[in-house]
Amino acid sequence: MIMDKKYFRSTKKVLDEDLIFPHSGGLLVPDFDQQRNLAILEVLRRIPEKDYQELVKIDEKDLFQWFIPHYEEFALCYPFPITHPEEPFKNLTFKDFTRVARAEVLYLSPLLEEQELEIVIAVIAHELAHIVLGHQTIFVEDYETQEKEAWELINKWGFKKELRKYKIYRKKEEKERQEFIRKHELKNIKKEE
Ligand SMILES: [Zn+2]
C-alpha cells in the first residue's frame, strides 16, 4: 500500500503497535464516531519519527494520559491510574501502572465534536507539542514563549494548513467577543442614562 507522503506511519501501526492511542474502553475498534479519536489518529500518523518516539517514551513511562469524555457524558468520576498510590493495587490489574507524581492528563473537550476536523487536529497537535517539548503546563512563567514554541513545532511537523484554519477561527472568535463586549457595554450605558 502506498501511503500519502505526509504520513510517517500507518493507521495499523498507530492502533496496534504503540500505546499512545487512547484506550477505547474495552472496545476492539476505537469509537471513530467521535471526531476527537479520528483527529488523534491523524496527528499520530503525521508526527515525524524522532518526536513520535519521544511521545512513545513518555507514554511508556506513564507520564501522560488522555482524558476524552464521551459527549453524552454529563458528569464523570474518573480515576487516573497513574495517580493511584502503589500499595492498594498491588495484586490487582492496576499493578502494572507506574505511579508518577507529575503526569500530564490531556483533556479533550466534547465541544471539539462540533468543530471542523482541521481545527481539532491543530488543537491536539498543539497539546502534544507541549508534551514533547517538556513544557511546564501550570504556573507557567512565560506562557507566551511556550505557546509560540508549541505552534512553531506543529508548523515544523507539517500541520500548516490546520494551523492556518485555527488562526482564522481564533480571529473570528475574538472579533465576536469584542462585539459582544461592545454591545453589552452600550446596553449598560443606555440603562445608566
Ligand atoms: Zn498551548
150 CA distance to ligand 1 middle (Å): 6
Cell of 67: 482524558
125 CA distance to ligand 1 middle (Å): 10
58 CA distance to ligand 1 middle (Å): 18
137 CA distance to ligand 1 middle (Å): 8
Q: Each residue of 113-171: pLDDT tens digit?
A: 999 999 999 999 999 999 999 998 777 788 899 999 999 999 999 999 999 999 999 99
For the chain, the structural domain boundaries read 11-137+144-192
139 CA distance to ligand 1 middle (Å): 13
Q: In this structure, what are the phi and psi dihedrals at residue 173, rounded to the nearest 5 degrees?
A: -60, -40
Of the listed ranges 62-66, 77-81, 102-106, 144-148, the least confidently predicted one is: 77-81
SS (H, E, C) the chain: CCCCCCCCCCHHHHHHHCCCCCCCCCCCCCCCCCHHHHHHHHHHHHCCHHHHHHHHHHHHCCCEEEECCCCCCCCCCCCCHHHCCCHHHCCCHHHHCCCCCCCEEEECCHHHHHCCHHHHHHHHHHHHHHHHCCCCCCCCCCHHHHHHHHHHHHHHHCCHHHHHHHHHHHHHHHHHHHHHHHHHHHHHHHHHC
pLDDT of 146 reads 94
pLDDT of 41 reads 93
Mean pLDDT, rounded, for 186-192: 74
149 CA distance to ligand 1 middle (Å): 9
Residue 77, pLDDT above cutoff 60: yes
Mean pLDDT of the chain: 84
pLDDT of 81 reads 63
